[in-house]
Structure 1
Amino acid sequence: MSRTNFDQLLEAGCHFGHLKRKWNPAMAPYIYMERNGIHIIDLHKTVVKIDEAADALKQIAKSGKRILFVATKKQAKQIVADKATSVNMPYVTERWPGGMLTNFPTIRKAVKKMANIDKMTADGTFSNLSKREILQISRQRAKLEKNLGSIADLNRLPAALFVIDVMKEHIAVKEANRLGIPVFGIVDTNSNPSNVDFVIPANDDASSSIETILDACCAAIVEGQEERKAEKADEAAAASQNEEDAAPARASRRRSTRARVEKAEAAPAPEVPAAEEKTAPATEEAPAAEPTEAPAEA
């Protein structure tokens, strides 16, 4: 069953491309026709591509990995923020910080700095600072929150990138390609799809188009998360059942061992034969020497 249909995408305006003179020839397979100087995207192919992308996203979510959503264009910011938050995924809707993926440890340091400022606020360290220092640190905290607040819980590189307008977010796409991270992207007729692993040919300028596609993809992510929870619950139940099944066997072994010990303790100790006394052999008394008669006197 398709997650979207032709009519739904048509109503959302997903079929409108850019002007013919702005097109990228690499998008030719996804263009249906030209009308009034504007390219029309083949929505039948869009439906198929959305299903492919959604299935891949579902598997990533099922494995418990994170997907980073990227959209810095005005009409997509709020939609992406809302959808990514609803599925508990990180997102970037302000300026893409250069090197965010290729220099990830440095970005993590900036996030930790934000956490340290929060810790200072909590433990009362701020009360010992001057007003000027407090103002400077507060401004720094606000700037970090604006740029990195949405990725504060991203402790490792994401498993995939979902990009709205791959032409505008070309730096993010290049970083992901360099690290071998798969890229999902809504690609319009003026963009190059060659650097995108999962191409979704559609209008990337209309809010309704972006929202319709994200709804289908986020629904797949939720399905993956639910299946992961169900599998964990099944594993826990199986482990519990195995524990219950093994308990009688362990109890039986303990009783058997205890019975053997008790039997061994109750058995009388074997009699040890007394050692025979070694007596010295009686020695025969030598016969007393008979007195010799004295010689008679002459």
Structure 2
Amino acid sequence: MANVNIQELLESGVHFGHLTRKWDPNMAPYIYTERNGVHIIDLYKTAAKIEETSEALKKIANSGRKILFVATKKQAKDIVADKAKAVNMPYITERWPGGMLTNFVTIRKAVKKMASIDRMKTDGSFDALSKREKLQINRQREKLEKNLGSISDMTRLPGALFVIDIKKEHIAVAEAQKLNIPIFAMVDTNSDPRQVDFVIPANDDASKSIDKVLGFVTDAIAEGLSERKAGKEKTKEAKEAPIKEEAVAEVTETTTEEKK
């Protein structure tokens, strides 16, 4: 369980919402007050939601499914890429490719195209091409890497989406909803939380706020992955134990027979 410190959230500016005139009324349960025309988020509710979200994401990571992080806004891109890489999860920080989820087969073909270009470069067939063809293929590879390189290891649909700013990433949210993929998100006061399965009411515009919340989330994912690895090792040991016992019994039996 995430050990969320309210003071840390406060210092990171997680409580700052949008201007009151830009608010979404459905965020009312998560708003504490209004100050100088800006809504202030109730950090006690944020802390509770971070803990709830972290527990759910931990279970998904433990099950072996992938969690796809989505954040294309400037102040979130680098943070999301770093945090997702640290727990070996896929992420989209460039433009969301339309049909990324709903037309996943086509996206996988594009990822495989990257792999085939890489094979061409290693097996020597790339060297046989003309200078112009090489240039075209390299450009194609760079474009694919920029848009899809971060999901190259995602061989099936993700077990969940974690989104920063559901208004900006509305296409990703709509695709996940269509496929019943659980949506986790940092939701600011200008967005409709009803679109999300697990809401974290928080400032989704400031990099410090995004970094702080994602820190709790990815720590929980890392914990889930660690427990999965430990469970696998335990299962392996349990399977090997009877084999070892049989081997010991066999050796003991042979030794006893020789003594006779």
Give the TM-score normalised by the residue count of structure 1: 0.83
Q: Is the 8 A contact 2:83 2:215 kept in 1?
A: yes
The residue number in structure 2 matching 1:116 is 116
Q: Kindly state the Cα deviation for residue 121 of structure 1 after the two structures are TM-superposed.
A: 1.1
Q: Kindly state the Cα deviation for residue 251 of structure 1 after the two structures are TM-superposed.
A: 7.9
1:165 is aligned with what amino acid?
Answer: D
Cα distance change of structure 1 residues 2 and 67 upon mapping to structure 2, 3 Å threshold: closer
Q: Kindly state the Cα deviation for residue 248 of structure 1 after the two structures are TM-superposed.
A: 5.9
Q: Distance in 2 between matches of 1:179 and 1:87?
A: 24
The residue number in structure 2 matching 1:96 is 96
2:184 is aligned with what amino acid?
Answer: F
RMSD: 1.7
My pick for the range that moved more, 224-233 or 244-253, is: 244-253
Alignment map for 1:35-184 (pairs within 5 Å): 35-184=35-184
Alignment map for 1:261-280 (pairs within 5 Å): none
1:152 is aligned with what amino acid?
Answer: S
1:230 is aligned with what amino acid?
Answer: A
Q: Secondary structure at the match of 1:161?
A: strand
Considering fraction of residues, name the structure with more helix.
Answer: 2
The residue number in structure 2 matching 1:13 is 13
2:118 is aligned with what amino acid?
Answer: D
My pick for the range that moved more, 120-129 or 22-31, is: 120-129
Aligned residues: 256
1:54 is aligned with what amino acid?
Answer: S
Q: Deviations over 1:66-100 (max 9, x none)?
A: 10000000000000000000000000000000110
The residue number in structure 2 matching 1:189 is 189
Q: Secondary structure at the match of 1:203?
A: coil
Q: Deviations over 1:231-278 (max 9, x none)?
A: 111111111112223446678999xxxxxxxxxxxxxxxxxxxxxxxx
Alignment pair present for 1:215 and 2:215: yes
Q: Deviations over 1:108-144 (max 9, x none)?
A: 0000111111111111112221111111111111000
Q: Secondary structure at the match of 2:157?
A: coil
Q: Secondary structure at the match of 2:99?
A: coil
Q: Distance in 1 between matches of 2:253 and 2:108?
A: 53
Question: Identity of aligned pairs, percent?
Answer: 66
Q: Distance in 2 between matches of 1:207 and 1:147?
A: 22
Q: Is the 8 A contact 2:91 2:150 kept in 1?
A: yes
1:120 is aligned with what amino acid?
Answer: M
Q: Secondary structure at the match of 1:205?
A: coil
Cα distance change of structure 1 residues 2 and 58 upon mapping to structure 2, 3 Å threshold: closer
Q: Secondary structure at the match of 1:153?
A: coil
The residue number in structure 1 matching 2:30 is 30
Larger radius of gyration: 1
Give the TM-score normalised by the residue count of structure 2: 0.94
Q: Which segments of 5 or more consecutive residues in structure 1 lack a partner in the other structure?
A: 255-298
Q: Distance in 2 between matches of 1:143 and 1:9?
A: 38
Q: Distance in 1 between matches of 2:124 and 2:251?
A: 56
